[in-house]
Amino acid sequence: MKRQTFLSTVINGHLTSYVTHRMSEAIRSQEGKSIRITVEGTKRSTKQNSYLHGVVFPILADYWGYTHEEAKSAIKFKFLLDVKIDEKTGLEIEFVRNTSSLSKEETINLIEDIRQWAKDFFDVHIPKPEKIN
Protein backbone atom coordinates (compact mmCIF):
# COMPACT_ATOMS: atom_id res chain seq x y z
CA MET A 1 0.00 0.00 0.00
CA LYS A 2 1.18 3.47 -0.83
CA ARG A 3 1.76 5.60 2.27
CA GLN A 4 -1.02 8.09 2.86
CA THR A 5 -0.75 11.16 5.05
CA PHE A 6 -3.75 13.06 6.36
CA LEU A 7 -3.38 16.54 7.83
CA SER A 8 -6.15 17.92 9.98
CA THR A 9 -6.93 20.12 12.94
CA VAL A 10 -8.39 18.55 16.05
CA ILE A 11 -11.42 20.48 17.28
CA ASN A 12 -13.20 19.27 20.39
CA GLY A 13 -11.45 15.93 20.09
CA HIS A 14 -12.50 15.33 16.46
CA LEU A 15 -10.88 15.63 13.05
CA THR A 16 -12.46 17.62 10.25
CA SER A 17 -15.14 15.55 8.52
CA TYR A 18 -13.42 15.64 5.11
CA VAL A 19 -10.26 14.06 6.55
CA THR A 20 -12.24 11.56 8.62
CA HIS A 21 -14.05 10.40 5.48
CA ARG A 22 -10.80 10.03 3.49
CA MET A 23 -9.12 8.16 6.35
CA SER A 24 -12.07 5.81 6.67
CA GLU A 25 -11.88 4.99 2.95
CA ALA A 26 -8.13 4.31 3.22
CA ILE A 27 -8.65 2.07 6.25
CA ARG A 28 -11.50 0.13 4.59
CA SER A 29 -9.27 -0.52 1.58
CA GLN A 30 -6.90 -2.43 3.90
CA GLU A 31 -9.50 -4.89 5.18
CA GLY A 32 -7.81 -7.93 6.72
CA LYS A 33 -4.34 -6.36 6.62
CA SER A 34 -2.24 -4.95 9.43
CA ILE A 35 -1.76 -1.19 9.25
CA ARG A 36 0.10 1.38 11.31
CA ILE A 37 -1.55 4.60 12.45
CA THR A 38 0.70 7.34 13.81
CA VAL A 39 -0.53 10.53 15.44
CA GLU A 40 1.99 13.34 15.65
CA GLY A 41 1.96 17.09 15.89
CA THR A 42 3.09 19.16 12.96
CA LYS A 43 6.78 19.82 12.53
CA ARG A 44 8.33 23.18 13.23
CA SER A 45 7.26 25.95 10.91
CA THR A 46 9.34 27.64 8.23
CA LYS A 47 9.18 30.84 10.32
CA GLN A 48 10.55 29.01 13.35
CA ASN A 49 13.36 27.53 11.26
CA SER A 50 14.18 30.94 9.79
CA TYR A 51 14.25 32.48 13.26
CA LEU A 52 16.63 29.81 14.59
CA HIS A 53 18.98 30.05 11.60
CA GLY A 54 18.63 33.78 10.96
CA VAL A 55 18.55 35.15 14.52
CA VAL A 56 19.37 32.71 17.33
CA PHE A 57 22.36 30.84 15.90
CA PRO A 58 23.99 33.94 14.34
CA ILE A 59 23.72 35.97 17.58
CA LEU A 60 25.34 33.22 19.62
CA ALA A 61 27.92 32.43 16.91
CA ASP A 62 28.94 36.09 16.88
CA TYR A 63 29.16 36.26 20.67
CA TRP A 64 31.21 33.07 20.96
CA GLY A 65 33.33 33.65 17.85
CA TYR A 66 31.95 30.43 16.34
CA THR A 67 30.77 29.61 12.85
CA HIS A 68 27.03 29.24 12.33
CA GLU A 69 27.36 25.43 12.29
CA GLU A 70 29.51 25.38 15.43
CA ALA A 71 26.94 27.50 17.31
CA LYS A 72 24.11 25.29 16.06
CA SER A 73 25.98 22.15 17.16
CA ALA A 74 26.71 23.60 20.60
CA ILE A 75 23.06 24.56 21.07
CA LYS A 76 21.85 21.14 19.92
CA PHE A 77 24.28 19.41 22.29
CA LYS A 78 23.14 21.60 25.21
CA PHE A 79 19.39 21.36 24.61
CA LEU A 80 18.69 18.35 22.38
CA LEU A 81 20.88 15.64 23.89
CA ASP A 82 18.75 12.53 24.35
CA VAL A 83 19.26 8.92 25.42
CA LYS A 84 17.95 5.66 24.03
CA ILE A 85 18.34 2.27 25.64
CA ASP A 86 19.71 -0.56 23.50
CA GLU A 87 17.11 -3.29 24.02
CA LYS A 88 19.63 -6.10 23.54
CA THR A 89 22.34 -4.85 25.89
CA GLY A 90 20.51 -2.37 28.14
CA LEU A 91 23.21 0.20 27.44
CA GLU A 92 22.33 3.86 27.21
CA ILE A 93 23.19 5.45 23.89
CA GLU A 94 23.36 9.23 23.77
CA PHE A 95 22.47 11.11 20.62
CA VAL A 96 21.63 14.66 19.61
CA ARG A 97 18.22 15.26 18.11
CA ASN A 98 17.94 17.30 14.93
CA THR A 99 16.00 20.55 15.10
CA SER A 100 14.10 19.36 12.03
CA SER A 101 12.56 16.56 14.11
CA LEU A 102 10.94 18.98 16.55
CA SER A 103 7.25 19.77 16.64
CA LYS A 104 6.06 23.37 16.65
CA GLU A 105 5.51 23.22 20.42
CA GLU A 106 8.94 21.69 21.04
CA THR A 107 10.51 24.42 18.91
CA ILE A 108 8.68 27.14 20.86
CA ASN A 109 10.04 25.64 24.09
CA LEU A 110 13.55 25.28 22.65
CA ILE A 111 13.62 28.91 21.53
CA GLU A 112 12.44 30.14 24.93
CA ASP A 113 14.98 27.93 26.74
CA ILE A 114 17.84 29.20 24.52
CA ARG A 115 16.79 32.84 24.98
CA GLN A 116 16.67 32.48 28.77
CA TRP A 117 19.94 30.56 28.94
CA ALA A 118 21.74 33.10 26.72
CA LYS A 119 20.50 35.92 28.97
CA ASP A 120 21.27 34.16 32.27
CA PHE A 121 24.71 32.78 31.45
CA PHE A 122 26.12 35.13 28.82
CA ASP A 123 24.06 38.31 29.24
CA VAL A 124 23.17 37.97 25.55
CA HIS A 125 19.79 39.31 24.50
CA ILE A 126 18.04 37.35 21.75
CA PRO A 127 14.90 39.19 20.61
CA LYS A 128 11.58 37.40 20.81
CA PRO A 129 10.39 35.94 17.49
CA GLU A 130 7.43 38.33 17.39
CA LYS A 131 9.84 41.32 17.60
CA ILE A 132 11.54 40.29 14.35
CA ASN A 133 10.04 41.71 11.15
pLDDT at 133: 61
State the first-to-last Cα distance of the chain, in angstroms, to the nearest integer.
Answer: 44
pTM given for the model? 0.67
Cα torsion 93, 99, 105, 109: sign: positive
Q: What SS3 state is found at 64?
A: helix
**Band of the pLDDT at 28, cuts 50, 70, 90?**
confident
Mean pLDDT of 47-61: 96
pLDDT at 120: 97
The yes-or-no verdict on residue 1 having pLDDT over 60 is no
